[in-house]
């Protein structure tokens, strides 16, 4: 069987997985996991990109030999290269606050409805567009010749080849939604240097050979859906088109798959985004807080027994207090339980008194946010949704899956938790000619080979509706 390595960098950790693939078979093995610990330097929150690269090299050495490798990561963040190809400074973390007021500044020059029409991308202060505008005039940006998104930067270090993979490039807010090319008019209007943006490559395109000096074996780097969410959605084991997905990790990305962007005023107001997917698909989705509030609460409590906490939370009364997890107040790192308590207090609800009650409040609130986003995705795109696929780490969270089914009033099909790595590997296997066919053929292999848990909706619609009103939905 042929082995393919998936490098998957997430906000809380990176890993290297090896998939062995042939028609009818798909085995997945984790060979290496490493921490991703952001560092605050002189007030700015950075990714420790060299530590991540070291983890990638260690993992790939342990993984080999493999036929090819593909790299995916979170979106929007980038490194800048100078004219010699050297990295200019550490990439800045999307949770850094330096862009907080930039969307409003840009909106004074380009009204938000115009910007949405020209990009199809949600308003998030961390979009690459806003990060680059925030950097305007800095010596670093003046010296920069190329901007590489994180997976493209790792690919460059592995192969020496420059490029911008399309699915991730679509999260920059600098692509033209109609053509999928760099939006040169917008780039000019923002006074950004057009040469910063490398030629685009599509998932499945070769990137280049990786020398044996680096890994101990020779292999090929291949472009995959390098935005982790693009790979995760390839890894959704859906049958037919009438599904919604929740790709649930640090974020929950909630939406539907379409073949064209939805650029209506209603979708702009609901802050839905159109991200490019594998095979010309469009991910019409909304960012929901995801597991971040839970992860950050565990960090603050100094606890890692999440399974125990979730079991305790399951015994707590449901919907006792709910908060709007989309509130920007929850975005930065810091004391999450205190912020949750403050939000409950401010909305006249009981403050969760124990960690279990706080976890219950977070999971109820997340299920509620999933409900709102699934319903909006369906309404705004005019499609039909018969089931919600939950993939990513959240698929292992029984309480969250059950409450999401209840909240949405739809069956939740949970798994695979490793959808991102699987989507990464499936695209490589197809590029190598080991697998054939469109996304539905790749997904059929997932249904054949991966366990899926079904949660039927139960619960009380009136209670969810009432909870929705409490968060102002
Ligand atoms: C998920 C993700 C989301 C993106 C966010 C920030 O890991 O890639 O899709 O909006 O991280 O980059």
Local confidence pLDDT in tens for the 473 residues of the chain: 679 999 999 999 999 999 999 989 999 999 999 999 999 999 999 999 999 999 999 999 999 899 999 999 999 999 999 999 999 999 999 999 999 999 999 999 999 999 999 999 999 999 999 999 999 999 999 999 999 999 999 999 999 999 999 999 999 999 999 999 999 999 999 999 999 999 999 999 999 999 999 999 999 999 999 999 999 999 999 999 999 999 999 999 999 999 999 999 999 999 999 999 999 999 999 999 999 999 999 999 999 999 999 999 999 999 999 999 999 999 999 999 999 999 999 999 999 999 999 999 999 999 999 999 999 999 999 989 999 999 999 999 999 999 999 999 999 999 999 999 999 999 999 999 999 999 999 999 999 999 999 999 998 999 999 999 999 86
Identify whether residues 339 and 385 lie together within a single domain.
Answer: yes
Residue 459's pLDDT is 81
Identify whether residues 207 and 244 lie together within a single domain.
Answer: no
Identify whether residues 41 and 143 lie together within a single domain.
Answer: yes
The pair of structure tokens assigned to 190 is 């923002």
Question: Is-contact 362 297, C-beta < 8 A?
Answer: yes
pTM over 0.90: yes
Residue 457's SS3 state is coil
Identify whether residues 33 and 146 lie together within a single domain.
Answer: yes
Query: Looking at ligand 1, which residue's alpha carbon is closest to its atom 11?
Result: 74
Ligand 1 site, residue 81, Cβ cutoff 6 A: no
The pair of structure tokens assigned to 348 is 């006249």
Ligand 1 site, residue 75, Cβ cutoff 6 A: yes
Residue 472's pLDDT is 81
Last residue of a domain, one of 202, 226, 250: 226
Last residue of a domain, one of 226, 261, 280: 226
Angle between helices 355-381 and 336-346 (to 10 degrees): 70
Identify whether residues 159 and 73 lie together within a single domain.
Answer: yes
Query: Looking at ligand 1, which residue's alpha carbon is closest to its atom 12?
Result: 75
Establish if 377 belongs to a structural domain.
yes
Of ligand 1's atoms, which has the minimum distance to the CA of residue 251?
Answer: 1
Establish if 429 belongs to a structural domain.
no
The pair of structure tokens assigned to 46 is 């950075």
Count of domains for the chain: 2
Rounded to whole angstroms, the Cα distance separating 276 from 287 reads 15
Establish if 99 belongs to a structural domain.
yes
Centre of ligand 1 from the C-alpha of residue 469, in Å: 28
Ligand 1 site, residue 168, Cβ cutoff 6 A: no
Query: Looking at ligand 1, which residue's alpha carbon is closest to its atom 9?
Result: 229
Pairing state between β 200-201 and 164-165: parallel
Name the strand (E) or helix (H) holding 5.
Answer: strand 2-9
Identify whether residues 144 and 7 lie together within a single domain.
Answer: yes
Name the strand (E) or helix (H) holding 4.
Answer: strand 2-9
Identify whether residues 178 and 320 lie together within a single domain.
Answer: no
Last residue of a domain, one of 208, 226, 244: 226
Rounded to whole angstroms, the Cα distance separating 317 from 294 reads 18
Establish if 442 belongs to a structural domain.
no
Q: What is the DSSP string of 201-236?
A: E-TT-EEEEE-HHHHSS-EEEE----BHHHHHHHT-
Structural domain harbouring 256:
235-416+451-473
The pair of structure tokens assigned to 304 is 């890692």
Identify whether residues 219 and 239 lie together within a single domain.
Answer: no
Of ligand 1's atoms, which has the minimum distance to the CA of residue 290?
Answer: 1
Residue 1's pLDDT is 64
b (16+ CB within 10 A) / e for 216-244? eeebbbbbbbbbbbbbbbbbbbbeeeebb
Identify whether residues 220 and 240 lie together within a single domain.
Answer: no
Establish if 33 belongs to a structural domain.
yes
State the CATH number of the domain containing residue 116. 3.30.420.40
Identify whether residues 252 and 396 lie together within a single domain.
Answer: yes
Rounded to whole angstroms, the Cα distance separating 427 from 159 reads 19
Identify whether residues 351 and 404 lie together within a single domain.
Answer: yes
Catalytic residue among 96, 228, 326, 364: 228
């Amino acid at each position: 069987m042929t082995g393919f390595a998936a490098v998957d960098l997430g906000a809380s950790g990176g890993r290297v997985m090896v998939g062995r693939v042939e028609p009818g078979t798909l085995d997945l093995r984790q060979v290496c996991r490493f921490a991703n610990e952001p560092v605050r330097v002189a007030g700015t929150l950075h990714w420790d990109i060299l530590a991540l690269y070291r983890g990638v090299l260690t993992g790939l050495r342990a993984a080999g030999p493999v036929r090819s490798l593909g790299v995916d990561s979170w979106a929007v963040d980038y490194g800048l290269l100078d004219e010699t190809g050297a990295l200019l400074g550490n990439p800045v973390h999307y949770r850094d606050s330096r862009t907080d007021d930039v969307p409003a500044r840009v909106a004074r020059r380009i009204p938000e409805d115009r910007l949405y029409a020209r990009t199809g991308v949600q308003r998030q202060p961390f979009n690459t567009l806003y990060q680059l505008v925030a950097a305007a005039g800095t010596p670093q940006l003046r010296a920069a010749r190329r901007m590489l998104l994180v997976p493209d930067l790792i690919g460059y270090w592995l192969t020496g080849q420059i490029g911008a993979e399309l699915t991730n490039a679509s999260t920059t807010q600098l692509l033209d939604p109609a053509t999928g090319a760099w939006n040169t008019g917008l780039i000019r209007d923002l006074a950004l240097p057009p040469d910063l943006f490398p030629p685009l490559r599509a998932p499945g395109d070769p990137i280049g050979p990786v020398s044996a000096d680096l890994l101990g074996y020779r292999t090929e780097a291949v472009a995959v859906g390098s935005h982790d969410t693009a790979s995760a959605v390839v890894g959704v084991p859906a049958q037919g088109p009438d599904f919604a997905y929740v790709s649930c990790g640090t974020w929950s990305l909630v939406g539907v798959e379409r073949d064209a962007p939805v650029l209506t005023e209603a979708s702009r107001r609901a802050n839905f985004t159109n991200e490019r997917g594998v095979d010309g698909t469009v991910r019409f989705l909304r960012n929901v807080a995801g597991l971040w509030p839970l992860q950050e609460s565990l960090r603050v409590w100094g606890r890692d027994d999440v399974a125990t906490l979730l079991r305790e939370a399951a015994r707590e009364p449901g919907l006792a207090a709910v908060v709007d997890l989309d509130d920007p107040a929850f975005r930065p790192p810091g004391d999450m339980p205190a912020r949750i308590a403050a939000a409950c207090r401010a909305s006249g609800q009981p403050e969760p008194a124990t960690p279990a009650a706080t976890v219950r409040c977070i999971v109820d609130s997340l299920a509620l946010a999933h409900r709102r986003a699934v319903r909006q995705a369906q309404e705004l795109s005019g499609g039909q949704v018969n089931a919600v696929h939950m993939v990513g780490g959240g698929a292992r969270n029984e309480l969250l899956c059950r409450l999401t089914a209840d909240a949405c009033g739809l069956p939740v099909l949970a798994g695979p938790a490793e959808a991102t790595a699987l989507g990464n590997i499936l695209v490589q296997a197809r590029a190598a000619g080991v697998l054939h066919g469109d996304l539905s053929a790749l997904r059929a292999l997932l249904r054949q080979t991966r366990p899926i848990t079904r949660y039927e909706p139960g619960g009380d619609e009136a209670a969810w509706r009432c909870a929705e009103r409490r968060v102002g939905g």
